[in-house]
Amino acid sequence: MQNTPLVDASSIRVAAIRFLARREYSYYELYKRLKPRIDCQLLPLLDVVLSALQAQNLLCDQRFCESYVRVKVAAGQGPLKIKQALFHKGVAESIIITVLADYDEQWYDNAFRVWYKRFGRLGEYLNDQARQIRFLQSRGFEFEHIQAALQQGRQQVSEE
């Protein structure tokens, strides 16, 4: 992407659409990307252009959030880590809660899948289990998801 200064609404719009052609962006993310290339006096114009893109449904925080969550869930991240990342990307809390609610039933299975892929069995000692818990916490899973994953691991061991 060129770093040429953006001097009018059409050049700002073209640059924004180029970013959006590659992937979804939140309003705040796209604003941060374009702001360094715009003169301070034209910053209000950036807001106008991005608002117009939102009105045309080319820029949508809801769609960005859905896409982001889908990718991060597939990568094995939990709801806490995803929620925090979306806050930093400027997505409204109401949108985050709505999108994450669609995945409520999957968090338990995802926590077990991530745990099983990394460890495959329960630790023999308490410090091993504590390490497994810390690992799942670092992935952003809530404690109830972690407990369920470890319980499922215990059941799997007792069945063998």
- Residue 159, pLDDT above cutoff 70: no
CA-nearest of 87, 25, 72, 94 to 53 is: 25
Q: What is the pLDDT of residues 29-62, one digit of tens each?
A: 999 999 998 888 888 899 999 999 999 999 999 9
Q: What is the pLDDT of residues 107-125, one digit of tens each?
A: 999 999 999 999 887 777 7
DSSP for residue 48: H
Other Cβ atoms less than 10 A from the Cβ of 88: the count is 10
- The model scores a pTM over 0.95: no
